[in-house]
C-alpha cells in the first residue's frame, strides 16, 4: 500500500514537471496558441453550419472555415496595423516639422475660453503656450522615435511574426477540425463531477464568445464610426484617432468621448459651428449609443460584467500580456466570476449533516 502511494506521488510529480516543461516550450508562441483557441471557439458555430449545409468532410469544412476567418477577421487586422504605423509616423513627422502646429491650436483654443477658465489654466501651469509648444515638440520627437523603433523592430522580427502567424493558422485548422474530440479529452482529464464539467465548459465557451464579441466588436464599431466622422470633417489622421477611440471605448461612461468631445468643443469655439454640431450629434446619437445597443445583443445579460471590472481587468491585461491582454484580461475576469458562481452554486446544493 505504501509502495502504491509512493508510485502515485511520483507519477503526479512527473506529470506536473512534464506539464510545466511543455508550457515552457510553448511560451514563445503563446500568442499564436491563444488566438488559435479564441478564433476556433468563435468560428466553431460557422463550421458546424457549413457541415450541416454542404455535408463536406471535416478537412474541407475546417479549411473553408479557416479561409473565411482569414478573410473577415485576420487579414483586416494585419492591413489596418500596417496603415496605422504608416499614419502615426506621418503624423509625428508633421508635428516635428511644424507643419501641424498642435500648440498653436491649443493657444487658439485657450483664447476662445472664458477668462475664468484661462485663469484656471494659468494656475495649473497650462497657460504658458511657448513652454507647452516645446513640450509638444519634444513629445513629438520622442513619439516619432518610438514609432520608428517599432517599425524597425517589426522589420527585424518579420521572420518571427510570419512563423507565429502560420503557427496560429496551422493550430486553428486542427482546432476547428478536431475541436469536439479535444474538448472531450480535456473534460475527461478534469477531476470534477460531470455536471460541474458541463457547466464549466458552457460557461467558458459563452464567456469567450461574449467577451470577444462584446469588447472587440463594440470597440471596432465605435472606432470605425469615430474615424469615419473624423474623415468626413477633415480631421488630420482619422485612422489614428479611430484606433485610439476603439481602445478608449473600453473605459466605462466616457470611452470614445475622451477623443471626440474636445474636438467638437474646438469646432464650436473656433466658429466651425456646423462641424461642431455634426460631430456632437453623431457622437451622442451614434457613437454613444453603439455600446448600449450592440453590447446587450452580443454579450447578453448572463455574462455582463461590471464596468469597473472591465476597466481594471483590461488595464491589467494590457500591462501583463501586452496587446493580447486586450482580450486576456477581461476573459480571465469573466472566467473568475463564472468559476466562483459555479462554486457557490455547488455549495448551495450540498446537504450538511
- 70-117 pLDDT, tens digit per residue, is 888 888 877 777 777 777 777 667 666 666 666 666 666 666 666 766
126-130, 241-245, 291-295: the lowest-pLDDT one: 126-130
Per-residue confidence (pLDDT) for residue 123, from 0 to 100: 65
Residue 131 pLDDT greater than 80, yes or no = no
- Burial class of residue 294 in the structure, from the number of CB atoms within 10 Å of its CB (0-12 exposed, 13-18 middle, 19+ buried): middle
Please tell me the predicted confidence (pLDDT) of residue 101.
Answer: 63
Q: What is 219-280 written as a DSSP string? A: HHHHHHHHHHHHHHTT-S-HHHHHHHHHHHTTSSSSTTHHHHHHHHHHHHHTT-HHHHHHHH
pLDDT at 152 over 60: no
Between 126 and 118, residue with greater pLDDT: 118
Domain positions in the chain? 29-189, 192-346
* Average pLDDT for 339-343: 76
| Residues 2-27, mean pLDDT to the nearest whole number | 81
Give pLDDT, residue 241. Answer: 84
d(CA 17, CA 11): 10
pLDDT tens per residue, range 241-267: 888 888 777 765 567 888 888 888 878
Lowest mean pLDDT among 23-37, 132-146, 155-169, 283-297: 132-146
pLDDT digits (tens, 9 = 90+) for 136-149: 556 555 555 555 55
**Cβ 40 vs Cβ 175: under 8 Å:** yes
Amino acid at each position: 500500500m505504501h509502495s502504491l502511494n509512493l508510485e502515485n506521488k511520483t507519477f503526479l510529480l512527473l506529470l506536473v514537471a512534464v506539464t510545466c516543461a511543455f508550457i515552457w516550450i510553448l511560451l514563445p508562441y503563446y500568442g499564436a496558441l491563444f488566438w488559435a483557441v479564441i478564433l476556433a471557439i468563435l468560428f466553431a458555430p460557422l463550421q458546424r453550419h457549413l457541415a450541416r449545409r454542404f455535408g463536406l468532410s471535416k478537412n474541407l469544412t475546417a479549411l473553408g472555415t479557416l479561409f473565411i476567418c482569414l478573410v473577415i477577421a485576420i487579414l483586416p487586422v494585419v492591413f489596418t496595423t500596417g496603415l496605422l504605423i504608416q499614419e502615426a509616423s506621418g503624423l509625428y513627422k508633421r508635428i516635428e516639422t511644424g507643419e501641424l502646429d498642435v500648440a498653436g491650436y491649443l493657444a487658439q483654443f485657450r483664447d476662445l475660453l472664458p477668462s475664468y477658465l484661462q485663469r484656471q489654466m494659468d494656475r495649473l501651469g497650462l497657460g504658458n503656450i511657448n513652454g507647452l509648444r516645446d513640450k509638444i515638440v519634444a513629445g513629438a520627437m520622442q513619439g516619432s522615435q518610438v514609432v520608428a523603433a517599432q517599425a524597425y523592430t517589426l522589420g527585424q522580427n518579420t521572420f518571427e511574426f510570419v512563423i507565429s502567424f502560420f503557427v496560429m493558422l496551422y493550430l486553428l485548422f486542427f482546432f476547428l477540425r478536431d475541436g469536439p474530440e479535444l474538448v472531450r479529452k480535456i473534460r475527461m482529464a478534469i477531476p470534477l463531477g460531470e455536471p460541474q464539467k458541463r457547466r464549466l465548459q458552457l460557461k467558458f465557451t459563452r464567456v469567450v464568445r461574449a467577451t470577444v464579441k462584446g469588447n472587440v466588436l463594440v470597440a471596432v464599431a465605435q472606432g470605425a464610426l469615430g474615424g469615419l466622422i473624423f474623415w468626413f470633417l477633415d480631421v488630420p489622421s482619422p485612422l489614428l484617432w479611430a484606433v485610439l477611440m476603439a481602445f478608449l471605448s473600453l473605459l466605462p461612461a466616457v470611452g470614445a468621448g475622451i477623443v471626440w468631445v474636445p474636438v467638437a468643443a474646438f469646432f464650436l469655439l473656433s466658429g466651425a459651428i456646423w462641424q461642431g454640431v455634426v460631430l456632437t450629434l453623431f457622437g451622442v446619437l451614434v457613437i454613444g449609443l453603439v455600446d448600449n445597443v450592440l453590447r446587450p445583443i452580443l454579450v447578453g445579460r448572463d455574462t455582463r460584467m461590471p464596468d469597473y471590472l472591465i476597466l481594471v481587468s483590461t488595464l491589467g491585461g494590457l500591462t501583463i500580456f501586452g496587446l493580447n491582454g486586450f482580450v486576456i484580461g477581461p476573459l480571465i475576469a469573466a472566467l473568475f466570476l463564472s468559476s466562483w458562481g459555479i462554486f457557490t452554486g455547488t455549495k448551495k446544493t450540498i446537504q450538511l449533516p
